[in-house]
């Protein structure tokens, strides 16, 4: 790196085993080529040798990176956590999880592009970062404390700092545990809270008094001003859907009228897409979209819904996983595949073991919530290790129910509404949907926008959907490349749909992202150069899948039920997937990627074109080059 714009130039390297903290130049990991966030984390993991250890081994790295846009005014203040994900099933895979709040910007202002955490402390500790003053401190008094109280305690001793923390679920190595900043900004998917717990790392506290250095401030301000003037960075109808509970009009209206205190969002972001609520006797906190999981099962009880949200956040449990879990629970008990006792429960509000409704009142809901969530958090429940591992212990009928709701890798169904999104999930290492709504809000409804970007689209026409296979390989590759950029620049998924600031030929999302990165870093990124970076990051992630996890063509799939019927209770396709057309689509997809069609492995020619000869050499030495 020749200029210190956008990037700070330094990564914190924390060895918990030896209580040693060093700083490594960001330039060691080619940030101009891998940007930041997921890209930077992936390059670091590759340089560490893509370690073939289990998620809770001391040598399992926890990687947290921001990007060159982090700290700027706008929807850029996010960070990415990467590592070997405990939540993945049946195998632990290298994956990713993003979060917002204020922590990402504070880390940048403190002077760091990322944190690499290795080893295991001999006692509970937290990492304190105040600009150049970085040290590990005792956290014995915080072990067992919930995420809200932990943040309050640490912020009282570290004024104006931001805290990233785990709750009891992470301490007890639940594979559903999150890492939380504030009350709703969480690295939710992946189970990364358990990695912190396995390392005896309770929290990271950061306070930065520096700033983001922008190479061309006038250009940057012009881009931001244009977006604001066009009304595209203002909270309106397009952003408001997530602020209110998505669990029925009764709860939504009650929460909005009686309990909403303000709108909230990530630091410096104009969208303010969350709602901040307070129900006396239960608590205060924010919610956005998936936090509404318990509302579906609380019979129009705002108190039951909110108690589920607040308690799961305090304990540090993945809220989205809880939605799929609730559907699995009621089905497993209702169909006789399990009993309430199997899950350590004395009641399930929706049904009893005979399949009869037993909603009960608030007391029954409270009992169910505390039994379910505390069992997950303290590790006594089968469900603490995830639905897949629980179903494995319960028998074949439970596994059948699991496979209907969980398409691949141990993650519950989420927005598989077209063939392209199914292929994306099949070739990823986790549910990718938190950062690739491009299918849903970009190409599906808008044939003209899809045509502009050279991919198929327009396959969702009102209530009508079609299963489109022709040329869908281009759509999937496009969204995957874009997803890597969003998670590396970073830019919020809600602010970077193909339909966002769509004003061709002078402005579209690709033009905006290349121009804003160029303005901040001072490096001229054309659209094609930036797009190549997205493909490079995806190719390196694929190389890790192949080298570390022996990923092959047959592994690029989703569950067999999706080829047999439309899955009930999940957003789904127009019809079951067709196996012959699916396999032909995979052939074409590997061709677009310049990967070997028979194995799905990256080939040397394209890797070298992407500037990754070292990656090709390593794969060849392992006998896994396409």
Beta bridge partner(s), residue 117:
14, 62
Same domain for 34 and 173? yes
Q: Residue 24 in 3-state DSSP? A: strand
Q: How many Å apart are CA 423 and CA 416, to the nearest integer?
A: 9
84: left (phi over 0), alpha (psi -120 to 50) or beta: beta
Question: Would 65 be classed as within a structural domain?
Answer: yes
pLDDT, residue 352, reads: 45
504 assigned to some structural domain? yes
pLDDT tens readout for residues 282-335: 999 998 876 666 776 777 888 988 999 999 999 999 998 998 898 899 889 988
| Helix/strand/coil for 137 | strand
Q: b or e along 419-452 (b: 16 or more beta carbons within 10 Å of the residue's beta carbon)? A: bbbbbbbbbbbbbbbbbbbbbbbbbbbbeebbeb
User: Which residues are CB-contacts of 52 (< 8 A; sequence separation ≥ 6)?
Assistant: 548
Residue 224, in any domain of the structure: no
Q: How far apart are CA 269 and CA 74, in angstroms?
A: 5
Would you place residue 353 in the very low, low, confident or very high pLDDT band (cuts 50, 70, 90)? very low
What does the pLDDT look like over 26-66, one tens digit per residue? 999 999 999 999 999 999 999 999 999 999 999 999 999 99
The Cα 626–Cα 620 span in angstroms is 8
Provide the number of structural domains found in the chain: 4
Burial pattern 143-174, b for ≥16 Cβ within 10 A else e, equals eebbbbebbebbeeebeebbbbbbbbbbbbbb
Q: Are 190 and 432 in contact (CB under 8 A)?
A: no
Looking at residues 269-291, what average pLDDT do you find?
89
CATH number at residue 57: 3.60.9.10
Locate 574 and state its tokens: 């127009």
Instruction: Give the domain-ending residue among 273, 289, 315.
Output: 315
In DSSP terms, which residues pair with 283 in a beta bridge?
279
What letter does residue 122 receive in the DSSP assignment? Answer: S
Cβ-based neighbour number of residue 517 at 10 Å: 25
For residue 475, pLDDT over 90 is answered with yes
- Residue 24 maps to a domain: yes
Its sign, for the CA torsion 131, 135, 141, 147, is positive
295 and 248, same domain (yes or no): yes
Q: What is the residue-wise DSSP string for 485-497?
A: HHTTTT--GGG--
The whole-angstrom separation of Cα 305 and Cα 318 is 15
* Domain match, 388 and 429 both: no
Give the residue from 115, 136, 164 showing the smallest Cα distance to 10. 115
> pLDDT for 400-425, tens place per residue?
999 989 999 999 988 888 999 999 99
Range in 18-27, 454-463, 492-501, 581-590 the model is least confident about: 454-463
> Are both 202 and 61 inside the same structural domain?
yes
Average pLDDT, the chain: 92
- Chosen domain end from 315, 349, 380: 315
Which of 532, 534, 539, 528 lies closest to 593, judged by CA? Answer: 539
Does residue 457 lie in a domain region?
yes
Q: Do 513 and 610 belong to one domain?
A: yes
Q: Specify the pairing of strand 10-15 against strand 114-118.
A: parallel
Q: Same domain, yes or no, for 24 and 122?
A: yes
Is residue 478 one of the residues assigned to a domain?
yes
The stretch 473-484 carries a mean pLDDT of 98
Q: How many residues are there in the chain?
A: 626
Final residue of a structural domain among 190, 207, 224: 207
Would you say residue 30 lies in a domain? yes
Q: Is residue 53 assigned to a domain? A: yes
pLDDT of residue 192: 98
Structural domain boundaries enclosing 606: 419-621
What is the C-alpha to C-alpha distance for residues 197 and 411, in angstroms, rounded to an integer? Answer: 21
Pair 310, 325 in one domain:
no
What CATH number is given to the structural domain containing 597? 1.10.599.10
User: Is residue 495 located within the same domain as residue 617?
Assistant: yes
Within this chain, do residues 306 and 393 fall inside the same structural domain, yes or no? Answer: no
CA distances in angstroms from 407 to 135, 422, 561, listed in the order given: 42, 9, 8
Q: Are residues 178 and 246 in the same domain?
A: no
Verify that 26 and 141 share a domain, yes or no.
Answer: yes
Give the tokens for residue 385. 């290790």
- Both 246 and 200 in one domain: the answer is no
> Which residues make beta-bridge pairs with 284?
278
The overall pTM is greater than 0.85? yes
Split at pLDDT 50, 70, 90, the class of 357 is very low
């Amino acid at each position: 790196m020749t200029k210190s714009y956008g990037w700070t130039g330094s990564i914190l390297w924390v060895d918990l085993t030896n209580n040693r903290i060093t700083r490594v130049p960001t330039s060691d990991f080619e940030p101009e080529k891998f940007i930041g966030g997921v890209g930077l984390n992936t390059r670091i993991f590759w340089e560490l040798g893509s370690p073939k250890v289990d998620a809770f081994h001391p040598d399992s790295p926890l990687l947290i990176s921001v990007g060159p846009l982090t700290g700027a005014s706008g929807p850029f203040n996010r960070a990415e956590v990467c590592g070997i994900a405990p939540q993945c099933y049946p195998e632990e895979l290298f994956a990713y999880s993003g979060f917002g709040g204020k922590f990402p910007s504070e880390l940048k202002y403190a002077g760091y592009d990322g944190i690499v955490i290795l080893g295991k402390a001999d006692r509970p500790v937290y990492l304190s970062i105040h600009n150049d003053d970085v040290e590990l401190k005792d956290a014995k008094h915080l072990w067992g404390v919930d995420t809200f109280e932990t943040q309050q305690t640490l912020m009282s001793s570290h004024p104006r700092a931001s805290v990233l923390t785990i709750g009891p679920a992470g301490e007890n190595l639940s594979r559903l545990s999150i890492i939380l900043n504030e009350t709703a900004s969480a690295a939710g998917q992946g189970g990364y809270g358990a990695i912190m717990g396995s390392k005896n790392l309770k929290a990271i506290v950061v306070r930065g008094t520096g700033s983001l250095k922008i190479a061309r401030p006038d250009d940057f301000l012009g881009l931001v001003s244009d977006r604001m003037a066009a009304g595209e960075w203002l909270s309106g109808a397009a952003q408001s859907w997530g602020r209110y509970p998505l669990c029925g009009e009764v709860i939504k209206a009650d929460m909005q009228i009686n309990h909403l205190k303000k709108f909230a969002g990530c630091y410096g972001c104009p969208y303010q897409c969350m709602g901040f609520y307070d129900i006396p006797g239960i608590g205060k906190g924010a919610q956005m979209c998936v936090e509404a999981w318990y509302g579906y099962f609380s019979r129009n009880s705002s108190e039951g819904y909110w108690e589920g949200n607040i308690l799961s956040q305090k304990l540090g449990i993945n809220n989205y996983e809880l939605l799929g879990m609730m559907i699995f629970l009621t089905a497993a008990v209702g169909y006789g595949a399990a009993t309430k006792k199997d899950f350590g429960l004395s009641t399930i509000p929706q049904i009893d073991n005979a399949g009869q409704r037993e909603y009960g009142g608030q007391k029954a809901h409270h009992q169910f919530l505390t039994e379910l969530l505390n069992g997950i958090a303290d590790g006594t429940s089968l469900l603490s290790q995830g639905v897949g591992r629980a179903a494995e212990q319960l028998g074949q009928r439970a596994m059948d129910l699991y496979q209907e709701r969980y398409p691949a890798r141990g993650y519950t169904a989420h927005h598989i509404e077209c063939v392209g999104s199914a292929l994306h999930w099949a070739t990823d290492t986790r549910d990718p949907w938190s950062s690739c709504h491009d299918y849903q809000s970009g190409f599906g409804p808008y044939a003209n926008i899809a045509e502009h970007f050279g991919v198929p689209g327009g396959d969702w026409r009102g209530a009508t959907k079609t299963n489109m296979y022709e040329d869908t390989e281009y759509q999937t590759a496009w969204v995957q490349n874009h997803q890597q950029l969003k998670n590396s620049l970073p830019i919020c998924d809600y602010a970077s749909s193909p339909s966002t600031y769509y004003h061709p030929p002078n402005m579209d999302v690709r033009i905006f992202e290349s121009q804003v990165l160029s303005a901040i870093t001072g490096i001229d990124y054309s659209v094609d150069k930036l797009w190549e970076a997205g493909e490079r990051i995806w190719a390196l992630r694929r190389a890790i899948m192949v080298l570390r996890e022996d990923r092959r063509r047959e592994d690029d799939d989703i569950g067999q039920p999706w080829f047999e019927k439309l899955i009930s209770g999940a957003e789904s396709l127009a019809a079951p997937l067709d196996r012959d057309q699916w396999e032909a689509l995979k052939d074409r997809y590997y061709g677009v990627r310049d990967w070997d069609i028979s194995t799905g492995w990256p080939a040397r020619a394209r890797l070298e074109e992407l500037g990754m000869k070292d990656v090709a050499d390593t794969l060849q030495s392992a006998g896994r080059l396409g």
